[in-house]
Amino acid sequence: MAVATVAALLAALGGALWLAARRFVGPTVKRLHRGGDSGLMHGKTVLITGANSGLGRATAAELLRLGARVIMGCRDRTRAEEAAIQLRREICQAGGPELGPDSSGAGELVVKELDLASLRSVRSFCQEVLQQLLNSFAKEEPRLDVLINNAGIFQCPYMKTEDGFEMQFGVNHLGHFLLTNLLLGLLKSSAPSRIVVVTSKLYKYGDINFEDLNSEQNYNKSFCYSRSKLANILFTRELARRLEGTNVTVNVLHPGMVRTNLGRHIHIPLLVKPLFNLVTWAFFKTPLEGAQTSIYLASSPEVEGVSGKYFGDCKEEELLPKAMDESVAGKLWDVSEVMVGILK
């Protein structure tokens, strides 16, 4: 009996140590720009969707630290303002004399409302951004150096966007499709400029079923998330093709598994929660670790001129053939133009 208890205790202890070891000495992602490079993004304007939470927030924090002026495109103004206040505070605390929103080191944050589940909101957001850029640098031409399509919704119950699109396809793909198209002129006139798209490895389980893009016949929330993330990749590749010779690049990345608010629609039983938390703590990346590839693609001189590629952990990765199918990518582009109403 005593032996069994001791054995169980030892096993539990061993397990905990192993998890802790995974966390602290496991293969962690190297943080780019640690310490140095503080002026790398100085004078650059970056727009990030979903910048109030998770990966978007961590990406905003780092680019801000590198001197960028960051426009946060967020669905909820209150949550976004709170995040902005915290980010400014963190920058002030972290920074020495050369960092701080009022000195030349760190950049500047601007919050703007953007609901990707509403085409009307996407359109008025773009108008406001253009207006803001015109007003704030009256003497200079307005510029947008980097657009980061980061916002996302994961495995929600069946819902439709304001315009009647299945929610995950509508927000993750169509909202960003319209946003990017409306900002393309500005990105081109700001060249060299970059577009960064956040997808997921789960794209592997998706397909673009053109006959039921709004999932009216049958809704499978995992399939729809995967489909939207496959659409992100096909969109990137088609856009890269269309942007050849413009000095505007577009690349797509998967962040790995990251501890964020993305799982808000997944219900985990109360009893399993502590175990789940332990496992995510041990195996998932922190938002700052997860954001490294977004930060890399947005800022590194190494990827200057690189376009249409798929990245993970700051390295190029292979795609499945279905994500490289040019005819599906072309057809998705055409169908998306019709759906968001920008057909010329």
Ligand X SMILES: *[C@@H]1O[C@H](CO)[C@@H](O)[C@H](O)[C@H]1NC(C)=O
Ligand Y SMILES: NC(=O)c1ccc[n+]([C@@H]2O[C@H](COP(=O)([O-])OP(=O)(O)OC[C@H]3O[C@@H](n4cnc5c(N)ncnc54)[C@H](OP(=O)(O)O)[C@@H]3O)[C@@H](O)[C@H]2O)c1
Judged by CB under 6 A, the residue of 19, 20, 191, 257 near ligand X is 191
Q: Which one of ligand Y, ligand X, none interacts with residue 295, CB within 5 to 8 A by kind?
A: none
247 binding ligand X? (CB under 6 A): yes
- Mark whether 310 is an active-site residue: no
Least distance in angstroms from the C-beta of 336 to ligand Y = 17
Q: What angle do CA 338, 341, 344 make, to 5 degrees?
A: 80
Judged by CB under 6 A, the residue of 107, 152, 206, 308 near ligand Y is 152
Q: Which one of ligand Y, ligand X, none interacts with residue 255, CB within 5 to 8 A by kind?
A: ligand Y
> Among residues 87 and 243, whose Cβ is nearest to ligand X?
243
Judged by CB under 6 A, the residue of 64, 151, 213, 252 near ligand Y is 151
Q: Which one of ligand X, ligand Y, none interacts with residue 226, CB within 5 to 8 A by kind?
A: ligand X
206 binding ligand Y? (CB under 6 A): no
DSSP 275-305: HHHHHHHHHSBPHHHHTHHHHHHHH-GGGTT
Contact in structure between 193 and 187 (CB atoms under 8 Å): yes
Angle between helices 221-242 and 326-340 (to 10 degrees): 100
d(Cα 308, Cα 306) in Å, to the nearest integer? 7
- Residue closest to ligand Y, measured at CB: 54
Judged by CB under 6 A, the residue of 71, 147, 213, 258 near ligand Y is 258
Q: Using CB under 6 A as the criterion, what x/- string covers residues 200-239 for binding ligand X?
A: -----x--------------x-xx--x-------------
Residue 194, number of CB atoms within 10 A of its CB: 26
Sheet holding 45-49, edge to edge: 108-113, 69-74, 45-49, 146-149, 193-198, 248-254, 310-312, 315-316
* Closest of 332, 105, 320, 161 to residue 239, by C-alpha: 332
The dihedrals phi and psi of 112, each to the nearest 5 degrees, come to -135, 145
Residues forming the site for ligand Y (CB under 6 A): 49-50, 52-56, 75-76, 79, 114-117, 150-154, 171, 198, 200, 254-255, 257-258, 260-262
Catalytic residue set: 225
Contact residues toward ligand X (CB under 6 A) are: 191, 205, 220, 222-223, 226, 245-247
